[in-house]
Amino acid sequence: MKYRNAAELLPPQLLQELQNYAQGEIIYVPKVKRKSWGEGTGAKSFYSKRDADIRRNYSHGVGLSKLSEEYFVSEDAVKKILYGKGGLNMNSEEINYSKYFWQNELVRVRRARPEDWEHHKGPGFDSDERFFSDYAQELPNDKELSKESWENWVKANWNSDECILFAFETHSGEYVGGGNLHGINERNGTFGMFIGAAEERYAVAGAKLMLDYAFNERRLNNCHTGFIENDTIYKPLFEKLGFKLEGVRRQQVFHKGRFWDECLYGLLAEEFNAQK
């Protein structure tokens, strides 16, 4: 630290005023506190708000690629914002799930994301399961086109009140399946549901959470769905959930040179809640 003679440094009036408080003493004059980065230009508040928006949108189901495109940053930068200091804590052991609605003894449920494609395993191409699921024989496809189709489907329904896509995870965070609520009609209280999982127990557990939300949070009353005759894949699964046969539409679906009947099933809110 360098010492300076105040008589050489200060103007006479200021020196005289200083001598009223201290004479012949060594005084330390601190530096003026500088503003931290971005405070003067507003950049700090801008980026703070941007990062908060990114975290909020991600928690609402917006994927990494969409966030990268919307906020003009790379996906790696988005990840740093999400998981860096002050970001989202994705360690389930550190989150208090004691009052978390979307969970039961087997699974936790969250909104589906575009990157779930890495784990998503739908019915195999050109398989009976695919036909029973989609009611049609699809055209030839490949992995990249299917990935793009999945991502576009998730993005198209981010803010939809009529179709909500979900992912099922174990309590340790392992992706085990998913489902959706679709065709939601608030006026008539009706909706449809699709579920699929690596194991039937996960499908049933995830479906119960979805139905609880639809019946007891959205005030919907009737879940309806349909199955092609002789379906041994999906029909038994929904029957375990309490769905009942309501009717048959004869020769409704054409496949492999013949017409197939469609079996219509439904579940009422009072029937679902009676099981609990």
- Report, as an integer, the average pLDDT of 104-125: 78
Total residues found in the chain within this entry: 276
In a domain, 134, yes or no: yes
In a domain, 8, yes or no: no
With 70 as the cut, is the pLDDT of residue 74 above it?
Answer: yes
Measured distance CA(13)–CA(32) in Å, rounded: 22
Q: Flag whether 127 is in a domain.
A: yes
Task: Inform me whether the pLDDT recorded for 59 exceeds 70.
Answer: no
Q: What is the domain range of residue 123?
A: 104-275
Does residue 219 carry a pLDDT above 80? yes
Mean pLDDT of the chain: 82
Residue 86 domain flag: no
Is the pLDDT at 104 greater than 90? The verdict is: yes
| Token code pair at residue 44 | 């700090």
Number of domains in the chain: 1
pLDDT for the residue 60 = 62
Query: Is 32 inside any structural domain?
Result: no
CA distances from 100 to 45, 56, 110, 235 (A): 32, 18, 11, 30
Question: Which of residues 151 and 42 earns the better pLDDT score?
Answer: 151
- Whole-structure pTM value: 0.63
Whether residue 227 lies inside any domain: the answer is yes
Q: Is residue 30 part of a domain?
A: no
The CATH number of whichever domain residue 268 belongs to comes to 3.40.630.30
Query: In this structure, what are the phi and psi dihedrals at residue 16, rounded to the nearest 5 degrees?
Result: -65, -40
Instruction: Examine residue 49 and state whether it is found in any structural domain, yes or no.
Output: no
